[in-house]
Amino acid sequence: QVQLVESGGGVVQPGKSLRLSCAASGLIFSAYGMHWVRQAPGKGLEWVALISFDGSNERYVDSVEGRFTISRDNSKNMVYLQMNSLRPEDTAVYYCAKDSSEYGDYVGAFDIWGRGTMVTVSS
Amino acid sequence: SYELTQPLSVSVALGQTARITCGGNNIVSKNVQWYQQKPGQAPVLVIYRDSNRPSGIPERFSGSNSGNTATLIISRAQVGDEADYYCQVWDSSIDVVFGGGTKLTVL
């Protein structure tokens, strides 16, 4: 079955960097856009970033633009989130999610989610 | 920016019908998705494109979208339906937006 597994979370000081990874299995990975969604403790879901199926298009929520970079390696079925200049308000569980749109230039539904990885930004 | 407004909480009696709303400007022009999230778990897609159910989601879950309000309808509510529910939309001008979430309590 389709599975997404995130890794790379941890505790980091403000201003530092962290790289999250998401390993996908059970699907034709190169056919689907991928997203990162985060959830601060006790709060709702916040979309963070998307990357198109071929990596040609990236989009970010305003609050991370210029600090975070999403990327993918279709040869390894991996998607990444490089997070620089981290702030306390970036503290959250970060989920990797698959887009339902196949080879699409639009966003469909988030039909598969990983279990998430916790990022804590604190001194 | 585009905002989606959900009630903080909705209560429903066991076996009755719950309706969770998601308000947004001309939301009828967008495809609305709904996600269920139980404590400590990842979200699960329960409705896509306004009213479509993924495989494995019970027929008790349905959705509608009209004017400025989309609605998730849960018929014959069960204790197992207690969860947070989030609506979500996308278009090329606003990117992805989630509603604030609604906590469903089954009494």
pLDDT tens readout for residues B17-46: 999 999 999 999 999 999 999 999 999 999
Q: Do A110 and B43 touch (CB under 8 A)?
A: yes
Residues B74-93: what's their mean pLDDT? 95
- The tokens of A122 are what? 């604190």
Gap between the Cα atoms of A111 and A101, Å rounded: 9
Is 90 exceeded by the pLDDT of residue B93?
no
* A49 contact residues in B (CB cutoff 8 A): none
User: Which residue, among B96, B97, B98, would best test binding to A if mutated, counting the most A CBs under 10 Å from its CB?
Assistant: B96
Widest pairwise Cα distance in chain A? 42
Q: B59: buried, middle or exposed (CB in 10 Å: 19+, 13-18, 0-12)?
A: exposed
Q: Which two tokens stand for residue A57?
A: 């298009």
Cross-chain residue pair B98–A108, CB shorter than 8 Å? no
Q: Are A86 and A16 contacting, i.e. CB atoms less than 8 angstroms apart?
A: yes
CA B16 remoteness from chain centre: 17
The tens place of each residue's pLDDT in chain A, 123 residues long, gives 999 999 999 999 999 999 999 999 999 999 999 999 999 999 999 999 999 999 999 999 999 999 999 999 999 999 999 999 999 999 999 999 999 999 887 888 999 999 999 999 999
In the 8-state DSSP scheme, what is residue B52?
B
Provide the β-strand partners of residue B77. Answer: none
Cβ-based contacts of B101 with chain A (< 8 Å): 44-45
CA A91, CA A87: separation in Å to the nearest integer?
8
Calpha distance A62→A90 (Å, rounded)? 13
Chain B residues near residue A106 by CB distance under 8 angstroms: 90, 92
- Nearest-angstrom CA–CA distance, A106 and B25: 20
pLDDT score at A104:
80
Cα(B23)–Cα(B4) distance, integer angstroms = 5
CA–CA distance, A19 with A38 (Å, rounded to integer): 14
Q: Which among A34, A107, A112 is the top mutation candidate for probing chain B, defined by the most B β-carbons within 10 Å of its own β-carbon? A: A107
